[in-house]
Structures are given as C-alpha cells and as structure tokens.
Structure 1
C-alpha cells in the first residue's frame, strides 16, 4: 500500500504553478481560486467577469501572474508548494 507524499507543516498540498496557470488561462471563471479553496474570491471573479462581459477576466489573469511570481496561500492559510 502506498501513501500520498507528506508535506512539511505549514505547506499546502496545492501547487502554486497549477494555481497560477489556472488563474491565467481560466481566471475569468475563478478556477485558480476555486483550486486553492478561496471560494468567495472565485465566485466574485466569476460574477465580475459576467457583469463586465468578460473584461473582469483581467483580474484572474493578473491574479494568476501574481501567484506565480509571489506565491500564495490556500484556504487554510498554508503556503502553496513550488
């Protein structure tokens, strides 16, 4: 029986690369934030994109780039792993 890899305390099981790429490609749908567990921000990104006829997608694009550059946290406040 194999067990999933263990991550050090304070480190998320979510990847900042995956969160960043999802934010860049599907940021207007809030997918990057849904991935990290930030449901309220993700729904807000989706609503803003719908209300602005897609122009709110720039928020997700910028958010994804910032996650790739600066890292981020998951919903429990743990740093995303590299």
Structure 2
C-alpha cells in the first residue's frame, strides 16, 4: 500500500486504482445475510441492483448468496465512484 493522498485517502491497489472507504468483507456479509433486501448493494452504492434484489427477494436467495460470495472473493469489485473495495 502506498502513502495516502487527497485523491486516494485509503491508498491505491497494485494496479494504481484508489481504494474505497467501503469494505468488501462488510459488503459480502451484508449481502449473504441481508441480500434479499439488497443490503450489500445499497452499502456500495449500487442502488439499481439493490432495488432489483429487493423486489425479487435477492433472486429467492440464490442471487444474493452468489453476489455475497463474489464480494468476498473478488479483488475487482468497486463502489459507486469506481474505487476498488478494501479487503
């Protein structure tokens, strides 16, 4: 991790992209346990997807579970501003 700057207060990833103030662990746990309400997606700012999950009960739980697992395992998930979620 590099020295924080005003443009990247949480540092940058190895590819030079700034880290988000959001955590992928928090997003993943929220999505696994409250994904039927779109909680993980609301947390990272993906309001459109969150509303779709809300109206479909997270794809009857399947979509929410898979999405939560992907939040936890993927290193390229981003927030609304396109910043990479912190680990």
Q: TM-score range by the shorter chain?
A: 0.7 to 0.9
Partner Cα separation in structure 1 for residue 59 and residue 31 of structure 2: 15
Runs of 4+ in 1 over 4 A off after TM superposition: none
Equivalent residue, structure 1, for 2:30: 22
Partner Cα separation in structure 2 for residue 36 and residue 44 of structure 1: 15
Structure 1 stretches lacking a partner, 5+ long: 1-5
Q: How many residues align?
A: 73
Say whether 1:68 aligns with 2:72. yes
Structure 2 stretches lacking a partner, 5+ long: 1-8, 13-17
Report deviation, 1:56.
Answer: 2.2
TM-score w.r.t. the length of structure 1 is: 0.81
Report deviation, 1:22.
Answer: 0.4
More helix by share: 1
TM-score w.r.t. the length of structure 2 is: 0.77
Equivalent residue, structure 2, for 1:35: 43
The RMSD of aligned alpha carbons is: 1.5
